[in-house]
Amino acid sequence: MNNIWGFTISSARVIDYDKNDRSFAQYMTDTVPSSQLCIGCGGCTATCTAGALTDFNIRKLQMLVKRGENREAGEQMHKCMLCGKCLLVCPRGVDTRRMIFAMLKYIDNQKL
Amino acid sequence: MYYDPFVLPFMIGLNILCIYLVVTYVRWIRSFSRADRHTILKNMISIKTLRACKEIFLESLVHHKIYRTSPFLGYMHMCFGLGWFLLIVVGKIESLVYHTSLFNPPYFAIFFRFFHPANEAFPHSNVFAFLMDLILLMILSGLALAWFKRLYSRLLGMKRTTRHRPFDRLILTVLWLIFPVRFLAESFTSGSRGGGSFLTHSAGEFFASFLPVESLSYPMWWVYSSVLGIFFLLLPFSRYMHIPTEMVYIFLKNWGVKQGRKFTAISKFQLYACSRCGICIDQCQLGSSLGLTTTQPVYFLKKIRHHEDYSQEIDNCLMCGRCENACPVDLHLNLLRLSQRKDYTHITKNTYTYIPAPRIPKARVAYFAGCMGHLTPGVIRAMRQLFEKAGIEYTFIDEQNGICCGRPMMLSGNYNAASIVVERNRTAILNSGAEILVTSCPICYTTFKENYHLNLKIMHHTEYIAQLISQGLLHPHASELRTVFHNPCELGRGNGICESPMQVLQAVSRPVPTKYDGKKSLCCGGSLANLHITPTQRSRLSEDALNAYLSYHPDVLVTACPLCKKTFAKNHHTVPIKDIAEIVAENC
Ligand code: SF4
Ligand code: SF4
Ligand code: SF4
Ligand code: SF4
């Protein structure tokens, strides 16, 4: 039926906001309100110590959490070395490092 | 036999207190690790014990460190500490001279004027009476100051005094009653039966002129004995527990027991040794810049002691060390805070397998810029220039694929994760075959020294540049720039490096002395140890610190930490903020 419009939806690529668990995202917004200020510029990722060596991407990590893709986020975040560089370059004053702490704590509690 | 039932409250209180203290301390000491107990036994019979006695005299009695903060406050504490001590010692000697037996009951000296109201003279009895009056006057003057302090605490060089619980207020009242009551008891006795000296004798005559001192003196001795007894009974549950605990702590400290990163028995001693003097309050920029007034050590330790919720305070500290530097009891406040931070990451050795094995060229000198160094390329450029000028062959450990030193993780309590990062860097450094490791970042510097167990010389670039200049390898010329130096927390307070930066700055500029020099420097606000405040709060803190420095109107604000430089420069653009290496490189 989708073919009427000339494209199909590959279910593997669908992000279903209604089904995803957004409690993690809500928790992050509550504990680190500045996470809402992110404009996705990627400055944090460009400077990231861990990101320079592996595919760890702090900007993407934020996005994953906001979309409720918690499992993937949980697998990624431990790669961060907590060095704090991202915090210093963010033009929007997002408390990236504290966000990671918040995530780690959440994961520790939830055993995601 | 000298005895009267009124001594009972005093004796009961004193005995219960002594038993309680001995039992508590023995219990704590028994929970020391085997290594600690061994250290204690080894050092017990050595010069260290004498040193501890000297320290107890200077700290617990004379309170000489409090004088640094405020002479008034120092005098006040000395009046109580030393005064009370002398009252006991001189009183004891007096009673011994009179009684000539070493074994008179402890209350005899305390209530000497009751048992011996100068009916008979004994050798130097007048001198003793004079001394005892003088000491009592000294204590009373301290008491007056303490009252005064309550009213006008600002005048004494402190902005705030500590907030107290009702219970604390009760025991404070009891303490404040002790000496006025003693004064009245002695005066009344003197008024009715003679004795005393310039203070109690005159006061006795004065009271006798309008009061029935004869019938008042005996009840007054009862009151005196009772307030002493009550004070002793309340002491273990109040902040005055610091009096005996501090002394034991000083011994343990001198015998070599160290506060580690875990909360152990020595932490307990420190917890109770805090006198709640409140000196740490004014040091804390979280208070002065952000108005946060629950996180300073005095409150933090109190919350731990009373089992209140202190989860936020655990995270909310810059670990700048300003409070620790000022604390008259010499408590390891940073480590105590750190001991409360839990490791909640699930990081294993495999987490960091992505870090490539470094291939480092060999050289005698190794340079490590650190994460923050890489965030300020100007510092690295300056260091390269200086190495070249001085003709030093060096290898750049983290030029490519550099990783964090691990300290930010440790500061958040995650030692487990940090140990893996540490191992990676350590291998790289050892593979370089270097004899000297130079780093630009004071944070890395601290970790290298404390956690890497490297058998080579570790230098911050400030020290290294100072050495190059004194060896004649660098010839900077003195410029006319007025410089103010911001000593980074980890460099000055953390590692005691205060001389080298000043030598270097003197060689290249005209440094302006400030009241924040050396260990009194401010925190730039960039500290990675604070896991609580927001970036906006950070900016406010750093702005305040910056303005404090800029009030000396320097041409350049110089620092020696890439993180400080970055933090300051983030919010400010009129006065240039430079690293000490950059200033030297510009003038070479
Ligand atoms: S703190 Fe973590 S996310 Fe931020 S720059 Fe460092 S390694 Fe990257
Ligand atoms: S630097 Fe700041 S604004 Fe840019 S992506 Fe990272 S968190 Fe978002
Ligand atoms: S921590 Fe030190 S400075 Fe602060 S109140 Fe206690 S004894 Fe005083
Ligand atoms: S270490 Fe610094 S921020 Fe922390 S309580 Fe002490 S003075 Fe305040």
SS3 letters across B459-528? EEHHHHHHHHHHCCCCCCCCCCCEEEEECCCCCHHHHCCCHHHHHHHHHHCEECCCCCCHHHCCCCCCCC
Look up residue A88 and give its DSSP letter.
H
Q: Is residue B42 part of a domain?
A: no
Q: Which of A47, A82, A88 sits opposite B409 (nearest CB)?
A: A82
Are A53 and B354 in contact (CB < 8 Å)? yes
Q: Which of A83, A95, A101 sits opposite B404 (nearest CB)?
A: A83
Q: What pLDDT does residue B193 have?
A: 85
Q: Is residue B358 part of a domain?
A: no
Q: What pLDDT does residue B42 have?
A: 92
What are the beta bridge partners of residue B557? B484, B577
Mean pLDDT estimate for chain A: 87
Q: Are residues B89 and B11 in the same domain?
A: yes
Question: What dihedral do alpha carbons B311, B315, B320, B321 form, nearest 10°?
Answer: 30
B488 touches chain A (CB under 8 A): no
Test site for ligand 3: of B270, B277, B295, B324, most ligand atoms within 8 A of the Cβ: B277
Contacts of A112 in chain B (CB under 8 A): none
Span from the CA of B371 to the centroid of ligand 4 (angstroms): 24
Q: Are residues B388 and B532 in the same domain?
A: no
Query: What is the span of the domain harbouring residue B442?
Result: 365-467
The answer to whether the CB of A50 is under 6 A from ligand 1 is: yes
Question: Which of B349, B421, B530, B534 is the best substitution to test chain A (most A C-beta atoms within 10 A)?
Answer: B534
B424 touches chain A (CB under 8 A): no
Contacts of B531 in chain A (CB under 8 A): 97-98, 101
Q: Are residues B436 and B506 in the same domain?
A: no
Structure tokens at A30: 């509550």
Q: Are residues B426 and B551 in the same domain?
A: no
What order of strands is seen across the sheet that includes strand B436-439?
B394-396, B365-368, B436-439, B457-460
Q: Which helix (H) or strand (E) holds B438?
A: strand B436-439
Average pLDDT over residues A21-29: 90
Helix axes B297-305, B265-273, angle to 10 degrees: 120
The answer to whether the CB of A42 is under 6 A from ligand 2 is: yes
The structural domain count of chain B equals: 4
Q: Going residue by residue through chain B (588 aa), what tens digit of pLDDT does each one get? A: 678 999 999 999 999 999 999 999 999 999 999 999 999 999 999 999 999 999 998 888 888 888 877 888 888 888 888 999 999 999 988 888 887 666 778 888 889 888 876 666 777 888 889 999 999 999 999 999 888 877 776 666 665 556 667 888 899 899 999 999 999 999 999 988 888 889 999 999 999 999 998 899 999 999 999 999 999 999 999 989 999 999 999 999 999 999 998 999 999 999 999 988 889 999 999 999 999 999 999 999 999 999 999 999 999 999 999 999 999 999 999 999 999 998 877 777 778 888 888 788 999 999 999 999 999 999 999 999 999 999 999 999 999 889 999 999 999 888 888 888 899 899 999 999 999 999 999 999 999 999 999 999 999 999 999 999 999 999 999 999 999 999 999 999 999 999 999 999 999 999 999 999 999 999 999 999 999 999 999 999 999 999 999 999 999 999 999 999 999 998 788 899 999 999 999 998
Span from the CA of A51 to the centroid of ligand 1 (angstroms): 8
Distance of CA B19 to the CA centre of its chain: 29
End of a domain among B296, B321, B338?
A: B338
Contacts of B420 in chain A (CB under 8 A): none
The answer to whether the CB of A52 is under 6 A from ligand 1 is: no
Q: What pLDDT does residue A3 have?
A: 67
C-beta of residue B439 within 8 angstroms of C-beta of residue B370: yes
Q: Which of B339, B79, B87, B333 is nearest to B200 (CA)?
A: B87
Q: Are residues B309 and B448 in the same domain?
A: no
Angle, CA of B16, B22 and B26, to the nearest 5°: 150
CATH number, domain at B523?
A: 3.40.50
Give the percent of chain A with pLDDT over 90: 51
d(CA B313, CA B310): 5
Q: Are residues B321 and B446 in the same domain?
A: no
CATH number, domain at B330?
A: 1.10.1060.10
Q: Are residues B83 and B206 in the same domain?
A: yes
Q: Is residue B356 part of a domain?
A: no
Q: Are residues B489 and B454 in the same domain?
A: no
Cα distances from A55 to residues A59, B305, B350, in angstroms, run: 12, 45, 15
Q: Is residue B345 part of a domain?
A: no
Q: Which helix (H) or strand (E) holds A56?
A: none
Q: Are residues B18 and B157 in the same domain?
A: yes
Q: Which of A54, A79, A93 sits opposite B535 (nearest CB)?
A: A93
Q: Which helix (H) or strand (E) holds B388?
A: helix B377-389
Give the ranges where chain A is alpha helix by DSSP (H). 23-31, 43-47, 58-67, 70-76, 85-89, 96-110
Is the model's pLDDT at A2 over the cut of 60? Answer: no
Kindly report, residue by residue over A51-68, the tens digit of the pLDDT: 999 989 999 999 999 888
The answer to whether the CB of B216 is under 6 A from ligand 4 is: no
Look up residue B31 and give its DSSP letter.
T
Q: Are residues B126 and B158 in the same domain?
A: yes
Q: What pLDDT does residue A111 have?
A: 58
C-beta of residue B282 within 8 angstroms of C-beta of residue B158: yes
The answer to whether the CB of B318 is under 6 A from ligand 4 is: yes
Angle, CA of B291, B294 and B299, to the nearest 5°: 140
Q: What pLDDT does residue B576 have?
A: 96
Q: Are residues B303 and B206 in the same domain?
A: no
Span from the CA of A41 to the centroid of ligand 2 (angstroms): 5
Q: Residue A7: which residues within 8 A CB-CB, separation 6 or more?
A: none
d(CA B108, CA B106): 5
The answer to whether the CB of A100 is under 6 A from ligand 2 is: no
Q: What pLDDT does residue A17 have?
A: 78
Q: Which of B355, B401, B408 sits opposite A82 (nearest CB)?
A: B408
B375 touches chain A (CB under 8 A): yes
Q: What pLDDT does residue A84 have?
A: 93
CATH number, domain at B107?
A: 1.20.950
Query: If you measure CA to CA, which chain B residue comes closest to A44?
Result: B375
| Domains present along chain A, CATH in parentheses | 23-110 (1.10.1060.10)
**SS percent in chain A: helix, strand, coil, step 5:** 60, 0, 40
Contacts of A104 in chain B (CB under 8 A): 344-345
Kindly report, residue by residue over B255-301, the tens digit of the pLDDT: 999 999 899 999 999 999 998 888 999 999 999 999 999 999 999 99
d(CA B161, CA B72): 14
Q: Is residue B38 part of a domain?
A: no
Nearest ligand, CA of residue B355?
1
C-beta of residue A47 within 8 angstroms of C-beta of residue B334: no
Q: Are residues B147 and B291 in the same domain?
A: no
Q: Is residue B348 part of a domain?
A: no
Are B372 and A81 in contact (CB < 8 Å)? no
Q: Is residue B577 part of a domain?
A: yes
End of a domain among B424, B450, B467?
A: B467
Span from the CA of B486 to the centroid of ligand 3 (angstroms): 25
Question: ipTM of this model?
Answer: 0.86
Q: Which of A82, A85, A90 sits opposite B375 (nearest CB)?
A: A85
Radius of gyration of chain A (CA): 16
Span from the CA of A83 to the centroid of ligand 1 (angstroms): 5
Helix (H, G, I), strand (E, B) or coil at B402: coil
Count CB neighbours of B487 within 10 A.
Answer: 27
C-beta of residue A112 within 8 angstroms of C-beta of residue A85: no
Q: Which helix (H) or strand (E) holds B53?
A: helix B47-55
B195 phi/psi in degrees, rounded to 5: 100, -175
CATH number, domain at B396?
A: 3.40.50.1860
The answer to whether the CB of A64 is under 6 A from ligand 1 is: no
Q: Is residue B457 part of a domain?
A: yes
Q: Ligand 4, atom 7: nearest CA belongs to which residue? A: B284
